[in-house]
């Protein structure tokens, strides 16, 4: 039998024990019981020993479950910093980089991917970042139930699932209903920034955003925008570029 290398050692638990007693809860708001289409598909993935350690040690301080039962006080949580919501952060490398590059902005990063949550907590801890919070759960419930109107200085959606099959297009996050909800939580002048390497989804994003009355395109020609300096190259972007995909950024301002 071949033993597992140390750098990918996995967190194991006795049968019946919660996966992370001090960490994120599975589906904290019970969103899978809601009769609506979701844009994400939770998946179980291997959690390394380092990620498990970060979840157990740091979740109580820097993490929160999206339970839909309370209104978050972002001012207290981020010491008065303007706060940007990042929806879906993968393994968190780009999020940690943006937080380090701009300590004057708080980042509330929400995802359901447990290894990524642990990885981002570990990255933030090692870098001494205090302007990142990691939220576990459904971003729609977070926006709808837990954030006040005009609470956000920005929303970032980088490389969301493109749901490429036509019958799954209804699962795409960037839809008129989502934009209306996001607009209600964005203060006037705040930026909604999307990026994707899936060209048909980029075209749909541009069409839906361009038609929404609460958003105005920052691009003078009404099209896609250059990648802004504050958005680092992400792991998913690198994978897309390696496959020859074009990456499209969309920057729309809340009017």
Instruction: Confirm or deny that 196 is annotated as ligand binding.
Output: no
User: Any binding-site annotation on 101?
Assistant: no
The verdict on whether residue 27 carries a ligand-binding annotation is no
Q: Taking CA 247 as the corner, what is the angle to CA 246 and CA 250, rounded to the nearest 5 degrees?
A: 135
161 is in an annotated binding site: yes
Active site residue 150: no
For 179, phi and psi rounded to 5 degrees? -65, -40
Phi, psi for 184 (deg, rounded to 5) = -70, -20
Catalytic residue among 65, 102, 161, 249: 161
109 near 135, Cβ under 8 Å?
A: yes
| 234 has binding-site annotation | yes
The answer to whether the annotation marks 237 as part of a ligand binding site is: yes
Distance CA 1, CA 23 (A): 32
Q: Which two tokens stand for residue 9?
A: 């050692």
Give the bridge partners for 217, in sequence order: 252
The annotation status of 138 as a binding-site residue, yes or no, is: yes
Residue 150, marked binder: no
Contact 158, 239 (CB under 8 A): no
Annotated binding site: 86, 111, 138, 161, 165, 197, 234-237
Catalytic residues, which ones?
161
Annotated binding site for substrate: 165, 197, 234-237
Annotated binding site for S-adenosyl-L-methionine: 86, 111, 138, 161
């Amino acid at each position: 039998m071949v033993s597992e290398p140390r750098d990918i050692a996995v967190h194991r638990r006795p049968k019946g024990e919660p996966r992370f007693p001090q960490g994120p809860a599975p589906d904290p708001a019970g969103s899978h019981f809601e009769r609506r289409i979701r844009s994400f598909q939770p998946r179980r993935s291997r959690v390394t020993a380092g990620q498990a350690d970060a979840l157990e040690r740091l979740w109580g301080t820097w993490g929160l479950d999206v339970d839909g039962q309370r209104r978050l006080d972002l001012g207290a949580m981020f010491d008065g910093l303007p706060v940007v919501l990042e929806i879906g952060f993968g393994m968190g490398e780009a999020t940690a980089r943006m937080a380090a590059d701009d300590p004057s902005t708080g980042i509330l990063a929400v995802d359901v991917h447990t290894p990524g949550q642990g990885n981002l907590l570990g990255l933030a801890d090692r870098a001494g970042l205090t302007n990142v919070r990691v939220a576990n759960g459904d971003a729609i419930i977070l926006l709808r139930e837990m954030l006040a109107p005009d609470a956000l200085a920005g929303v970032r959606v980088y490389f969301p699932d493109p749901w490429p099959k036509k019958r799954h297009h209804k699962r795409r996050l960037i839809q008129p209903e989502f934009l209306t909800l996001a607009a209600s939580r964005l203060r006037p002048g705040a930026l909604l920034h999307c990026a994707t390497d899936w060209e048909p989804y980029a075209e749909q994003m541009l069409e839906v955003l361009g038609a929404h009355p609460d958003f105005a395109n920052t691009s003078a020609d009404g099209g896609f925008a250059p990648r802004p300096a504050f958005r680092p190259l992400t792991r998913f972007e690198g994978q897309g570029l390696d496959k020859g995909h074009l990456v499209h950024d969309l920057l729309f301002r809340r009017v």
